[in-house]
Structure formats: C-alpha cells, structure tokens
Amino acid sequence: CRFSQMLHPIFEEASNVIKEEYPDKNQVVFARVDCDQHSDIAQRYRISKYPTLKLFRNGMMMKREYRGQRSVTAIADYIRQQKSNPIREVQDLEEISSLDRSRRNIVGYFEQKDSDNYRTFERVANILHDDCVFLSAFGAISKAERFSGDNVIYKPPGENAPDMVYLGSLTNFDLVYAWTQDKCVPLVREITFENGEELTEEGLPFLILFHMKDDLESLEKFQQEVARQLIGEKGTINFLHADCDKFRHPLLHIQKTPADCPVIAIDSFRHMYVFPDFSDLSIPGKLKQFVLDLHSGKLHREFHHGPDPTDVAPGQPIQDLASSPPESSFQKLAPSEHRYTLLREKDEL
C-alpha cells in the first residue's frame, strides 16, 4: 500500500521522539501490523482501510482512531496530549457550582489521590475524556461530599438536571466504566461532518432524526421514544440526530428538503428508508417495528416488491414497485476495501 509505505518512516521517527520523552516501555508502545500476514488481527479490530492508526489504553481499543496530520510533529503531539492528565483537580467546591452545564460532567470526591478508588477513576477518565469532563477533589476540600466514603457523581447537561450518584464498587473497573460510559455517551448522538466517518466505522446502520437546529422539541420526542421503544436495540443500530440545514444532501436522497423536517430515516449503508410520518412517532411500538422491519429485511423487500402478502387486504393486488429504495448517503464513509480508491477518484473528478 503506497500510503502505508509513505507513513512508515514518519511513524517510526515519531516513535523514536516519544521514546526519548517516555523511556519507560510501559508508558507508550508503538506497534505496526502487516494485515496481509495477520488478517485475523485486522478482522478482530475491523480494519478495512490502510494505513489505520488505532489507540489502545490498558488493552482496550479506543473508538476514535487518529485522523490528524501524518507528520512526526503531529503524531508526537497527539501522544503527548493522550499522556496529559484528563482530570481537573478542583481547589474549592465553589468551582463545581460554576461548571459548564452544557457539558456532561463526572466529579469524583476522594479522601486521597494515592488510592485504588482514584486509580480506577483515573483509568476510566483516560478512556472517556473525549465524551465527558472529569473533575476531582481530595482531602478536606472533598470532605463535605464524602459523608459515606469516596463518591462519584454525574452532573448531566442542563441547569436543573438532577445529579446521579454511582452506587457500585469504586475499585471495580468494569462496573465504574460501564456506569460512566452510559452517562457520558448519550443514547441519541449528533452526527456531524467531523464524526460521520467514526460513526460509520462502528458498523451499525443509522436511525436518524433530521431536524432543524432550534427544533429541540422534536429532538426531545425522538429521544424519549428511542429510550422507551428501542433501548433493547442499542447494540444493533446507532441512534442519531442531524441538522437539516447541514445535511441537505442526505435529505435529497430521500426526496426531502429542510422544509419537510423533522424527518426520520434509516440508512443501512445500502439504502435509505423513510419513517412514514413523524407524527406517528408516539404510537406505541411504531418506531420499534420500523427498526425490526430493517433487521428482518422487510424494508428492503417491500421497496422492491411492494407490501408483503400478509400486509395486503384480501383481494388487494400486490404492487410491484420494480425500483430500488434511495441509495445510502453514508455508504462512501463505511468500511470498504475500495474506500480510498473511491475517495481519490471523487477528488480527481
């Protein structure tokens, strides 16, 4: 791969720079994998384009891969940033009352920094610092919040949103991580031009609400119904919302414009399917059935051959649409061995 050959000496030089700054081999490890020889490793970590730079912490692959500039300086700076402390230590509890409540904040109150509780908190913060703001307080400063021992609290977005307290063992990394991830990574995420590629690489189809940026009411309804109807589908489909003005092109794929928003659609990376009517969102089970129809293949089948016989009233002919559903808007971002070739051809055109 020509691009891999170009990156190899840069990657190696960056590793030498970092090795001088962090000589302890347990601090930072640079490694490279020949995916022709080790296809099992490529498959395990869903590597489908080359070169790919993935970051691991404590044996766990981070969901955000490195997409910065391919230079020694940029890669070295990225590692330095990753090595910086993701937790801000507060010196006065008044700082907590002035937090930016548009962000998701996780606050840990500990008797001392040199403790197993804090080390677990630190490991979790290192993994999820892109999704939440992490803060800590120690000793006398944190005493008022430690009436029953060390304590971790989640402060969700919104000035009046109630705090949530972690009630499990603070030395159990798996429990702390699972709880924190649930709080830091929202069930319905916003898709943007910046994170679109990252979301497609998770390999799950999209259920997207297209809404105007200031239409928070529709977003709230969508979030509520996703939580009510689809929480069990969390690992099978990504729940997203998108700005109609910014994502006009995907709307055109389904013959919609911002004037039609709010619109709900599924992008399966093959085709896009439109939820019949946004006003049907609150009908019990309607949104869930839409997703189940994707998984069963019914959506694709009906676009090609009309309603299933079981959905047609007696005596009503089955309509043969003889046409395909709209093409996917995000297919070009989805993992594919031809992906870079397609993007290069597009750039040349």
- Domain boundary, last residue among 83, 118, 144: 83
Q: pLDDT tens, 82-107?
A: 888 999 999 999 999 889 888 899 99
336, 220: one domain: yes
79, 96: one domain: no
8, 26: one domain: yes
Per-residue pLDDT band for 308 (boundaries 50, 70, 90) equals: low
Within a domain: 177: yes
310, 229: one domain: yes
Within a domain: 348: no
Q: pLDDT tens, 220-261?
A: 999 999 999 998 888 889 999 999 999 998 898 899 999 999
**CATH code at 326?**
3.40.30.10
- Domain boundary, last residue among 168, 184, 200: 184
Mean pLDDT of the chain: 86
Question: For the chain, how many structural domains are there in total?
Answer: 3
179, 213: one domain: no
195, 329: one domain: yes
**Is the confidence at residue 339, as pLDDT, over 60?**
no
Q: pLDDT tens, 120-163?
A: 999 999 999 988 999 999 999 999 999 889 999 999 988 888 99
Q: CA-CA distance, 78 to 86, in Å (whole number)? A: 14
- Domain boundary, last residue among 133, 156, 184: 184
Secondary structure (DSSP) of 127-177? HHTTTSEEEEEEHHHHGGG-BTBSEEEEE-SSTTPPPEE--S-TT-HHHHH
227, 251: one domain: yes
Cβ atoms < 10 Å from Cβ of 130: 11
Domain hosting 109: range is 87-184
User: Dihedral through CA 34, CA 38, CA 40, CA 42, nearest 10?
Assistant: 0
Element at 266 (helix H, strand E): strand 263-267
141, 262: one domain: no
174, 194: one domain: no
Within a domain: 290: yes
Q: CA-CA distance, 172 to 243, in Å (whole number)? A: 39
Encoded tokens for 200 = 């497609």
Q: CA-CA distance, 239 to 187, in Å (whole number)? A: 7
Q: Is the dihedral of CA 205, 292, 283, 235 positive or negative?
A: negative
Are the beta carbons of 238 and 186 closer than 8 angstroms?
no
Within a domain: 349: no
Within a domain: 20: yes
98, 199: one domain: no
* pLDDT at site 4: 92
Which residues lie closer than 8 Å to 241 by C-beta, 6 or more apart? 188, 189, 190, 191, 208, 209, 210, 211, 219, 222
CA atoms within 13 A on the CB side of 141: 18
SS3 assignment, position 287 = helix
Are the beta carbons of 206 and 240 closer than 8 angstroms?
yes
Q: pLDDT tens, 49-86?
A: 889 999 998 788 887 888 889 999 999 999 999 888 99
114, 213: one domain: no
Within a domain: 347: no
Are the beta carbons of 180 and 132 closer than 8 angstroms?
yes
306: left (phi over 0), alpha (psi -120 to 50) or beta: left
Within a domain: 94: yes
Find the range with the poorest average confidence among 137-141, 204-208, 302-306, 309-313: 309-313
Encoded tokens for 178 = 């699972």
Q: CA-CA distance, 12 to 184, in Å (whole number)? A: 34
Q: What is the pTM of this model?
A: 0.67
Q: CA-CA distance, 16 to 31, in Å (whole number)? A: 12
Within a domain: 239: yes
Which residues lie closer than 8 Å to 170 by C-beta, 6 or more apart? 116, 117, 120, 121, 150, 152, 176
Q: CA-CA distance, 215 to 261, in Å (whole number)? A: 9
305, 240: one domain: yes
Cβ atoms < 10 Å from Cβ of 220: 11
